[in-house]
Structure 1
């Protein structure tokens, strides 16, 4: 079965509808507070769904089912850590943000350590988002390109041209409503788009259940026989080096997931900005903690779909199905098995997941640039209208930069020879820099002694030290068998180094 004309009409109608609805919902903005913080008047449940949608990329939709298809359910262990980490952020970080009436997460560092520390953290955030979101935006085009080819479209196009088209369309449509509507448009469209992609996933699951000869019980029996219902892996049979290098043993996933969540939801402007749009600290806490529960349920849904796919395709390997990897299996089902029109709806769901992530990145990058770097040095005497106009201009600039970054990663990925693992690269970039950011925040929040010098030394020591524990160019030059740690531990180790070095530096300098 190939994509029909109806499928393409559904996709086009959805994209145009998103742009129009986003602009209508947002209304008018009179200041940067309206544009970036929604006037602090957004309901907590809408912010909850926006946080979840922001965390969900197209790869979540496509790749998480493939995790269960090719493995088991141990990936779900990391979501337990996500919930624990969010509870910590809601109790320790959010009250400080609301008490200080802050517009970005990094203004707390200015109050505690001065402008230099805020600028270092804000710049680190921007570089991280530029690289990680450039990777994410390119990676978004991978499943879309697969579906386009499986559906018989764009057969005369090169892979690079298909990727450029997908990236360009996503960026252009997202920019329209983000630029005009600000954070209100971003949050409310995230809510709508989450309903679309979750609804699409549930619909695909129902179609599979209807078509399976033995129904749900047969699928679960088949999964159990293949040990795919295995959820907990404590890794007690591993030696220490293997234990630290495996990402989804229980304690690594729990501790690493918790610390990663503290960093991503307590120090990353991408998420903190959403929480600051709520009416008070209590609403922000409710949105944050419950988002962890919803994320766990969402991952559970996509893993469950992977188990259904395993039964639907009778445990065949990707090669037996004529596919390059298991990542293409859900895409194959979408194109070949769904009724006319519904394939287009699922692809629209993929665009929804991509746009919700990109719109959040654009708005958070623009807010951090405006409040942390532009306004303190160049716009102190601006009127509200001038600040708003500059904020929109900065949003356009970041859209162009992120799109260019995604084009660059597309070019790299499609070169002959060994290709970079872009998905792992994106995760690694975020995990790597989160350690430094979290360490600086913990140093300022939990200790009153260290000053800006201690914080800066600790911050950059934490970033540099990870180079020797992450597999890469420096790691490969170390003698013997250097220690490599799993990506969920990057943030744990990085933040500990920052805090310990900052405290030690303070004690030495006091003497």
Structure 2
């Protein structure tokens, strides 16, 4: 780790709240705060949705999946597209028709305040648990980096700092700030994966793809796996991905609020369906990096490399082999 790497991280952590505040500082009403007066372009919302479902865990773990399951994980993304298409035409019109700012307001109108309150509280609790995991995952590399410079902070301190930085732009800027910061973060995710692929391409032999293919690392579907015991059986993966996506992208406030910030129902539908396509491309890119890493590491298993889990494969490459500043 060089000083320039640390400087980039510090600048990034400071810039995100600042950009969020500048983008969304002129809030005029509650509707502006929660749904941006329904004025956000669908392309930005689409990228924001993808960034919302992408975390540190996604970036770090997806390439390592190739070592054990080839490209089979991508089957879930096929289901995502199906599920989001259903949600776009079945659930989303009801939110726009009622001119709502919350996915749970529809439940209140349809089934009463009791169910609305139950769904809202469930969302808050489950989201706190999920974001807690993601915040902790993000704190791990920061602690390692700081430790390299003999700066020793407890995990809880790092989590509190990250939370405070996020709260600044979310509280002041509302949904507009959140969406545009998401767009920047997704650009970093995809840009980082693309740079990793380019770096690997320059380190690999010309026949790397043939080697990976010969080892079955490009296998996309597998009809031989047991439907009841394997998450990567084709039918299980596609149907499971569709059901998960219908729930998370059709009824989860985290996603629905972004979609309701678009200019029209049609724009919301484009953003939702398009997010399924973009997330499939994203997963494919991370899996491609994983196939490259398989050859780069001498076609050895995780155990043979002396690593504790597949999550460590990409992490080690980032630390040891990516150029300074990347």
Q: How far apart in 1 are the matches of 2:3 and 2:137?
A: 26
Equivalent position of 2:156 in the other structure: 164
Equivalent position of 1:57 in the other structure: 55
Equivalent position of 2:95 in the other structure: 97
State the Cα distance separating 1:113 from its structure 2 match.
1.2
Q: How far apart in 1 are the matches of 2:67 and 2:231?
A: 18
Q: How far apart in 2 are the matches of 1:258 and 1:305?
A: 25
Larger Rg: 1
Structure 2 residue 72 is matched with structure 1 residue 74 = yes
Match of 1:280 among 238, 253, 264: 264
Q: Which runs of 5+ in 2 are unaligned?
A: none
Match of 1:291 among 265, 268, 275: 275
Q: Is the 8 A contact 2:83 2:245 kept in 1?
A: yes
Q: Is the 8 A contact 2:65 2:290 kept in 1?
A: yes
Q: Is the 8 A contact 1:94 1:285 kept in 2?
A: yes
Q: How far apart in 1 are the matches of 2:139 and 2:61?
A: 13
Match of 2:320 among 326, 330, 336: 336
Equivalent position of 2:299 in the other structure: 315
Equivalent position of 1:135 in the other structure: 133
Q: Is the 8 A contact 1:38 1:184 kept in 2?
A: yes
State the Cα distance separating 1:144 from its structure 2 match.
4.7
Q: How far apart in 2 are the matches of 1:156 and 1:8?
A: 12
Residue 74 of structure 1 aligns to a residue in which SS? coil
Q: How far apart in 1 are the matches of 2:314 and 2:175?
A: 32
Q: How far apart in 1 are the matches of 2:192 and 2:99?
A: 39
Residue 245 of structure 1 aligns to a residue in which SS? coil
State the Cα distance separating 1:319 from its structure 2 match.
4.4
Q: Is the 8 A contact 2:67 2:302 kept in 1?
A: no
Residue 103 of structure 2 aligns to a residue in which SS? coil
State the Cα distance separating 1:155 from its structure 2 match.
6.3
Q: How far apart in 2 are the matches of 1:273 and 1:199?
A: 26
Greater relative contact order (Cα < 8 A, sep 6+) = 2
Structure 2 residue 313 is matched with structure 1 residue 326 = no
Q: Is the 8 A contact 1:143 1:328 kept in 2?
A: no
Structure 2 residue 173 is matched with structure 1 residue 178 = no
* Structure 1 length-normalised TM: 0.61
Residue 228 of structure 1 aligns to a residue in which SS? coil
State the Cα distance separating 1:70 from its structure 2 match.
3.2
| 1:330–1:225 CA distance, 2 compared to 1 (3 A) | same
Q: Deviations over 1:444-464 (max 9, x none)?
A: xxxxxxxxxxxxxxxxxxxxx
Q: Aligned ranges for residues 41-440 of structure 1 at < 5 Å?
A: 41-145=39-143, 148=145, 153=148, 157=152, 161=153, 163-212=155-204, 214-215=205-206, 218-235=207-224, 238=226, 243-342=227-326
Q: How far apart in 2 are the matches of 1:70 and 1:78?
A: 16
Residue 188 of structure 2 aligns to a residue in which SS? helix
